Amino acid sequence: MLTPKHIAIIMDGNGRWAQEKGLERLEGHAAGVHSVLRSVQACIDQGVSYLTLYAFSTENWKRSQEEVSGLMLLLGESLMKYLPDFMEKGIRLNVIGDMAALPEEVCEKLNLVREETKSNETIVLTLALNYGSRDEILRATRKLMQSAIDGDLKPEDLSEDLIADALDTFAIPDPELLIRTSGEMRLSNFLLWQVSYSEFISTAQYWPDFDETSIKEAIAIFNTRQRRFGGRL
């Protein structure tokens, strides 16, 4: 069985999971943290080298202040709580998105965990935080335009590789497999450049119910796909 080198997941359904159980939305997000841990371990077990999770989008700021504050608190607490696990399992933390808008305390913890785990080699866990693909492409375009203004880049030198290198994901390969939970069938402004040829799987499971078996089933489905990349059989 072929294992994708890089899996990306749009984690969706925490709030609906909580609502159906008569719980607060933040309890759904807390349950979702455990799914993150299960999924990372499952990817390690399956030999996946990169796992990217859509954790907080640029659009998520529109949620209530209570929910946003609770999410940021949960993120900071989880980073510190599970840092020992990251070190034991060889998980390297990576972050994509515009961190400038995140709370200072969260940024400090993210930077601490990134620094502590930078030599780990088992798997790269990328969290997309304050991330939106259009924003990412806009920021990349501005960098390239500045290079042109500075005289370091000519229009005829622009290439797909140069654009890719200007994106937040310059250090990781494009995902072969993109998974979205909760049955939704849209990308929601996630990795629009990078998933051009990714295989897409939507599962009806809410994110807190996503587990090791879910990863295995997704990889099995991936192996039934014929990846043509625009070509013919």
User: Mind telling me the catalytic residues?
Assistant: 12, 60
> What string of DSSP letters covers 64-92?
-HHHHHHHHHHHHHHHHHHHHHHHHHTEE
Q: How many CA atoms lie within 13 A of 169 on its CB side?
A: 29
Return the structure tokens found at 174.
């494009």
Q: d(Cα 61, Cα 82) in Å, to the nearest integer?
A: 25
CA 58 to each of CA 14, 74, 158, 189: distance values in angstroms, whole numbers, following the listed order: 18, 18, 28, 9
Any idea how long the chain is? 233
Return the structure tokens found at 134.
């259009």
Q: How many CA atoms lie within 13 A of 108 on its CB side?
A: 5
- The amino acid that residue 109 corresponds to is K
Contacts of 84 (CB under 8 A, 6+ apart): none
φ, ψ dihedrals at 51, nearest 5°: -130, 120
φ, ψ dihedrals at 173, nearest 5°: -75, 160
Q: Residue 102: exposed, middle, or buried by beta-carbon count in 10 A (0-12, 13-18, 19+)?
A: buried
Return the structure tokens found at 176.
């072969």
